[in-house]
Structure 1
Amino acid sequence: MGRARGLGIAAVVVGLVGLLAGLGGVVYGRYAFGGSVVSGESMAPTFGRGDRVVFERIDGSEVRRGDVVVFSAPDRYGFDALVIERVVGVGGDRVACCTGEARDARVTLNGEPLREPYLKGAEAGGGYPAYDVRVPEGRLFLLGDHRANARDSRAFLDDRGGTLPTSAIRGRVIDDYTVPVVLGVAMIAGVVLVLVAAGLGIAAMVVRRRARAVVPPPPPWAARV
């Protein structure tokens, strides 16, 4: 029975480790990360229609200039789905467009031309009228990378300069998938360990039944002459 007991203990230990790894990965992954599918071309060429993006759930106060974020603004867009755009200005910044002419035009940030290598066709203005916005504290100025095909802060300049409250931010798009991959491995490992624990449990029951089925030989004094 000693072997059966050992297998049973191993099954419990391995099973608990598997549950902790699997459930821990699932819970943390759902809490820390999210996913979305790009439905338009406003962020092309960085992200195109149908691209799947992963974002880390952060507070809007953690957003930095240049971050690509997902947010919800049903009062502005008329739907609850997530919108993806790039943060150009944060609270206190002055964002204006455009200096220069035609394809040489540039958005300026606090008076300095903004380098934007991600733009589609290098069109900084995208055909929108000129603007000069001082971003209020606690708000963000957002633009799409495809300026000619983006309904971003420029389309809502009459609403506090088109800026968006940081509370609308749901997450920051990531390009380093190390943490999500580690979480995925942890979840898979958890499933494997639970299956191993089940196998150990079955083995323990088999050994226990076999031990009970063995009939000990009769004692010498029970033998008949």
Structure 2
Amino acid sequence: MGGRARRLGWAAWVLGPLGLVGLLGSVVWLGSTYRSVTVSSSGMTPTYAIGDRVFIERVDGDEVRRGDVVLYSLPGRYRGQPVVQRVVGLGGERVAHEGGASGPTLVNGRALAEPYVKDGVANGGPPYDVRVPRGRLFLMGDHRANSNDNRYFADDHGGSVPFDAVDGRVVDGVARPVAVAVGGLAGLGVALTGLGCGIAAATERRRAAHLRMAGWAIPQ
């Protein structure tokens, strides 16, 4: 019986901390890497509608690429509230449109394929011609005729947004955070198993102590 108690005790010491590390690690990683926000405007339709919840992966502005949808906030715009818009131009690029709704967005003079825009209309707002400064991004909503985006802030660096205004990038797939969450649940299961082993070990020791007091031989 003493040997069984020792084995259970060792299992408790190994499984309990191991499971807690897995659980806490997944919680900390998810909390520091992902967040969710609710879309509050129609500027990104049809990709995202008002009320949609989207997952945001925390990344720096220099990690995003054209076509990414990002969450950003900037003092002096939208009352400082975070907004979701799509990256169209990168630092050093010229982004332009001469007006009207039918023509494409031009990046360095070449038409940009944008299958995500509402009704295939790539513009519909004011004409613009912006050389995006280095370290900044030019963003627009997918509903170009109904998006108060970078085109309307031309007096501030051509409307562009600095890297440090980016809070994160929208991720459409949730496989990675779900996998980490499942790993955290597995860690919880291991920790509970360790707790069970600890309780069983304590029970075995109490039984052994009672048997000794009664004068019984204790099997090993």
Question: TM-score normalized by structure 2?
Answer: 0.92
C-alpha separation between the residues in 1 aligned to 2:176 and 2:31? 13
Candidates 115, 118, 124, aligned match of 2:116 = 118
- Residue-by-residue CA offset, 1:188-215 (whole Å, 9 max, x unaligned): 1122122212211111111111111112
C-alpha separation between the residues in 2 aligned to 1:129 and 1:22? 51
C-alpha separation between the residues in 1 aligned to 2:170 and 2:155? 28
Aligned to 1:185: 182
Q: Is the 8 A contact 1:86 1:144 kept in 2?
A: yes
C-alpha separation between the residues in 2 aligned to 1:98 and 1:209? 85
Aligned to 2:46: 45
- Residue-by-residue CA offset, 1:155-207 (whole Å, 9 max, x unaligned): 10121111111110111111232321121011111221222122111111111
Taking the TM superposition and a 5 Å limit, the aligned residue runs for 1:18-57 are 18-57=19-58
SS in 2 for 1:78: helix
Aligned to 1:84: 84
SS in 2 for 1:13: helix
What is the alpha-carbon root mean square deviation over aligned residues? 1.6
C-alpha separation between the residues in 2 aligned to 1:116 and 1:60? 21
Q: Which runs of 5+ in 2 are unaligned?
A: none
C-alpha separation between the residues in 2 aligned to 1:168 and 1:96? 23
Is 1:216 matched with 2:210? no
Q: How far does residue 45 in structure 1 lie from its aligned partner after superposition? A: 0.8
SS in 2 for 1:75: coil
Taking the TM superposition and a 5 Å limit, the aligned residue runs for 1:62-81 are 62-79=63-80, 81=81
Q: Which runs of 5+ in 1 are unaligned?
A: 219-225
Displaced runs of 4 or more, over 4 A? none
Q: How far does residue 65 in structure 1 lie from its aligned partner after superposition? A: 0.9
Q: How far does residue 217 in structure 1 lie from its aligned partner after superposition? A: 5.2
Corresponding letter in the other structure for 1:14: L
Aligned to 2:4: 3
C-alpha separation between the residues in 1 aligned to 2:199 and 2:98? 72
C-alpha separation between the residues in 1 aligned to 2:172 and 2:216? 70
Task: Assess, with a 3 A threshold, how the Cα gap between structure 1 residues 217 and 23 changes in structure 2: closer, same or farther.
Answer: closer
Q: How far does residue 129 in structure 1 lie from its aligned partner after superposition? A: 1.8
Q: How far does residue 113 in structure 1 lie from its aligned partner after superposition? A: 1.1
Aligned to 1:95: 95
Q: How far does residue 88 in structure 1 lie from its aligned partner after superposition? A: 0.3
Task: Assess, with a 3 A threshold, how the Cα gap between structure 1 residues 195 and 217 changes in structure 2: closer, same or farther.
Answer: closer
Larger radius of gyration: 1
Aligned to 2:203: 206
Is 1:145 matched with 2:129? no
Aligned to 1:134: 131
Paired positions, count:
214
